[in-house]
Copies of this chain bind each other. A is one copy, B any other.
Amino acid sequence: MQLQVGTTRIAKETRRSPHVVILVHCPDEVGLIYRITGVLASQQLNIESNQEFVDVTTSHFFFRAEVSLKTCCSAESIAQLKNALVHNLPERANIRIVACEPRPIVICATQEPHCLGELLLLDAVGELPGRIVAVISNHNTLRNLVERFDVPFHLVSHDEISREEHEQHVAELIDTYMPETIVLARYMRVLTNNFVDRYSGKIINIHHSFLPAFVGASPYRQAFERGVKVIGATAHYVTAELDAGPIIAQDVIPVDHGFTAEQMAQAGRDVEKIVLAKAVRLVLEDRVFVHSGRSVVFS
């Protein structure tokens, strides 16, 4: 990215540089925070903020802390910290320590520009805590938009090949970028379980929906016909069951009877892009846990 937006971009990097994020989750037991914070205290590390949550229904413990480092976060110092945590926490504890550099994401899109454009713009102006390394699409429609932002655009056409073959091409391309997160920004392809499993816990999707839901075709038509007053959007992790993965962010936008089907669709696009941007930021800042199919979001 060559875009110079001066102070904003710099501000972002300054703000994040001297931190690591520590993520722990495991079955709950007495004294977990005591042991985690004991390790940090013994290493003279200061907790700038932390959030902790015990899901009492599953007795599962979730912990996130931002810790300021005195020096830059070397691989070595992180390994040392992780080691100390591993030795002091239960064997089953899931421990992650995330350093401070912005992480790569790949976006898959089809023909709609609203969600993709919002993410490209946020990255360009320094308000995305990550960087978009590539956009993959099964159509050429969005190439021009993507290339304006100096981001590689890859067309992987689905013409005359099977779903499995197409996914195979997409997956190979994704893997060359080694992203931690894959964002489906209105990617209008049904994914196979194979693909979902390959990137388990890494794919984020966005879709609009209504209160209550409309089953069957033409949801905007049905929404219009019943006179809905809000349109919602849900960003979630993708799992094998369609649209049933753990929820990361949701919001709604008000509409009324005066909205045509087209205007309702525009309201739907507006709320989709706002919610997807929020979800991507939360994920890139390591604020989202998923355990037993449920999300815990420390916003």
Contacts and interface: CB of A to CB of B under 8 A. Distances in A.
Interface string A88-125: 00000000000000000000000111100110010011
Interface in A106-159: 111-114, 117-118, 121, 124-125, 127, 141-142, 144-145, 148-149
B125 A117 contact: yes
A177 interface: no
B296 A227 contact: yes
Number of chain A interface residues as a range: 35 or more
B262 A227 contact: no
Contacts of A38: 31, 34
Contacts of A296: 227, 257
A6 interface: yes
Which DSSP category, helix, strand, loop or mixed, fits chain A's interface? mixed
A139 to B, nearest CB: 8
A229 interface: yes
Contacts of A254: 254
7 contacts: A6-B111, A31-B38, A33-B50, A34-B40, A53-B258, A228-B247, A257-B296
A108 to B, nearest CB: 17
A252 interface: yes
A269 to B, nearest CB: 7
A250 B211 CA distance: 8
B228 A250 contact: yes
A226 interface: yes
Contacts of A249: 229
Given A49-B54, A226-B295, A117 B121 contact: yes
A226 B48 CA distance: 20
A297 B34 contact: no
Interface stretch (A7-15, A78-86, A187-195): A7-15
A214 to B, nearest CB: 9
A252 B294 contact: no
A230 B232 contact: yes
A30 interface: yes
A230 to B, nearest CB: 5
A217 interface: no
A251 interface: yes
Contacts of A213: 209, 212-213
A11 B262 CA distance: 9
A1 to B, nearest CB: 10
B232 A211 contact: yes
